């Protein structure tokens, strides 16, 4: 049996005392973020996984050893990329009304509140652990996508098939 996990690489958020794992659990509980993504994209997800499964079956039939993580690496990456786009392109805001999710867009997004890192530090560098630094909350005038306060949660998104 294979299992799809939608979540994050667990790293500390650059503000407060939470990790991306804790933030992800709160976003799922309060907004159904991962469930909404899965429900909206399940056909594409099934297609990606079935393509990788076919490759795995071919490998088995040829007598090769099959490493599940390697076999499903392509679909895991496709799903991770789609989750990223789901949030950054504001698709989540459009889909939320279809599934009856309340509070999306978030109030912080509507107010344009975000966390800005000091020069040279990016959310991707923060997640990889290669560059740590400080930052502060920033209030801009225009609304921003929901769930991208510092960019660390969005940069840590991960789909995994076991």
Say which residue, 143 or 132, is predicted with more confidence.
143
Number of domains in the chain: 1
> Using one digit for the tens of pLDDT, what is the confidence trace for 62-80?
999 989 889 999 999 999 9
User: What pLDDT is attached to residue 142?
Assistant: 81
**Are 101 and 31 within 8 A, CB to CB?**
yes
| pLDDT for res 81 | 97
Cα separation of 106 and 138, whole Å?
16
Residue pLDDT, tens place only, 51-65: 999 999 999 999 999
User: Which domain does 63 fall in, by range?
Assistant: 4-161
Segment among 20-24, 81-85, 109-113, 155-159 with least mean pLDDT: 109-113
Q: What is the pTM for the complete model shown?
A: 0.86
How sure is the predictor about 144, in pLDDT bands with cuts at 50, 70 and 90?
Answer: confident
pLDDT band for position 1 (cuts 50, 70, 90): confident
The DSSP bridge partners found for residue 116 are: 136
Question: With bands split at pLDDT 50, 70 and 90, how would you rate the model's confidence at 112?
Answer: confident
pLDDT at residue number 139: 73
């Amino acid at each position: 049996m294979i299992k799809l996990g939608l979540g994050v690489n667990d790293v500390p958020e650059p503000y407060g005392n939470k990790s991306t794992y804790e933030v992800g659990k709160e976003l799922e509980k309060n907004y159904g973020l991962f469930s909404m993504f899965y429900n909206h994209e399940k056909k594409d997800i099934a297609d990606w996984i079935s393509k990788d499964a076919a490759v795995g079956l071919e490998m088995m039939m040829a007598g090769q050893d099959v490493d599940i993580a390697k076999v499903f690496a392509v679909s895991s990456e496709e799903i991770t990329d789609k989750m990223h786009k789901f949030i950054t392109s504001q698709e989540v805001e459009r889909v939320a009304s279809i599934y009856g999710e309340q509070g999306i867009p978030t109030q912080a997004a509507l107010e344009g509140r975000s966390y800005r890192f000091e020069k040279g530090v990016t959310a991707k560098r923060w997640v990889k652990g290669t560059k740590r630094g400080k930052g502060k909350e920033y209030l801009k005038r225009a609304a921003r996508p929901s769930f991208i306060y510092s960019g660390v949660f969005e940069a840590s998104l991960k789909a995994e098939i076991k």
